[in-house]
Structure 1
Amino acid sequence: MQFLSSWATSDKSRLLHFAAGTLETFRQHVQSSDADREAGGLLLGSVHGAHLLIEQATVPTAWDKRFRYLFERMPFGHEAIALSRWAASQGTVRYLGKWHTHPEDHPHPSGLDRSEWSRLAVQRRDKRPVLAVIVGRKSLYVELVPSSGCGPVLIAVE
């Protein structure tokens, strides 16, 4: 499976680029067999005007709860990595959103996903939308979720 690195809103007003390491993290956690459990983490990167560079995806920790159709991210580990990257970069690498897997070829958000994303977007101090990524077996689902709920779904671009 080949996930593309460049994504955009349909009008190309917002661009997003996943670094190679981020895509590799996604590939390593695809739920390709019936025994694989959901995985997830935080998305860390930099903001360039309306555009985003996703430099890192944290990986599941020992504290996270992983099931076939549910991933519950515990704060231990993920927050420490995010704070460390933020401090080391003097505030340029920051928390941009969250990612998790679904055991489906072309993933779509569940009602639980939507409610969590909306809650996270409302809590953002900087009022920026939350980047939400679902990793499927064959494709990614990428959305910028504002505090109002549903936001623009991004599409892969060559």
Structure 2
Amino acid sequence: MQFMSFWATNDKRTLLHFSTATLETFCLHVQASDADCEAGGLLLGSVHGAHMLIEQATVPTAWDKRFRYLFERMPFGHKAIALSRWTASQGTVRYLGEWHTHPEDYPHPSGLDRSEWNRLSAKRLDKRPMLSVIVGRKALYVELVPSSGRGSVLTPVE
């Protein structure tokens, strides 16, 4: 499984780069078999104007609720990692969004995904759109979700 590192909005005004470590985390949690449960976590990285560098994806914790068609992230472990990265980087590595898997080749957000993304985006203190990633078996779905609703879908850049 090989996901692309570079992504962009259609107008190319926003560019995104997933680090190798982030893509490895995604690959490790692909729901390849019928028994695999959904996984997910936070996306941590740095902001450079309109562009983002995703440096880390947190992995599911023992507290998270994982089922075949549902992942519910509990704050405990993820929040501690985000806070420690924020502190260690003197505020340059921050929470940028969320990721989770779907048991489908080419994933698309469910109604539940959309409502959760809108809720999380509205809570952002910096008012930036939230990065939402769904990891499928063959592709990623990447969207920047503003607090006002549907956002910009990003596509891979060769």
Q: Distance in 2 between matches of 1:62 and 1:144?
A: 28
Q: Which runs of 5+ in 2 are unaligned?
A: none
The unaligned stretches of length 5 or more in structure 1 are: none
The aligned residue for residue 91 of structure 2 is 91
Task: Note the C-alpha offset of 1:2.
Answer: 1.0
Q: What is the TM-score of this pair, normalised by structure 2? A: 1.00
Q: Which residue of 2 aligns with 1:41?
A: 41
Aligned to 1:128: 128
Q: Who is 1:152 aligned against?
A: 152
Give distance in 1, aligned partners of 2:72 and 2:119: 15
Alignment of 1:1-158 (within 5 A): 1-158=1-158
| Identical pairs, percent | 82
TM-score (norm 1): 1.00
CA distance in 2 between partners of 1:119 and 1:48 (Å): 25
Q: Compute the RMSD of aligned alpha carbons.
A: 0.3
Partner amino acid, structure 2, of 1:112: L
Q: How many residues align?
A: 158
SS at match of 1:87: helix
Separation of aligned partners in 2, 1:39 and 1:61: 9
CA distance in 1, matches of 2:149, 2:121: 8
Matched residue SS, 2:26: helix
* Distance of 1:119 and 1:30 partners within structure 2: 25
Q: Distance in 2 between matches of 1:125 and 1:22?
A: 24
- Give the Cα–Cα distance (whole angstroms) in 2 for the partners of residues 82 and 44 of structure 1: 7
1:21-70 deviation digits (Å, cap 9, x = unpaired):
00000000000000000000000000000000000000000000000000
SS in structure 2 opposite 1:131? Answer: strand
Aligned residue for 1:52, secondary structure, equals strand
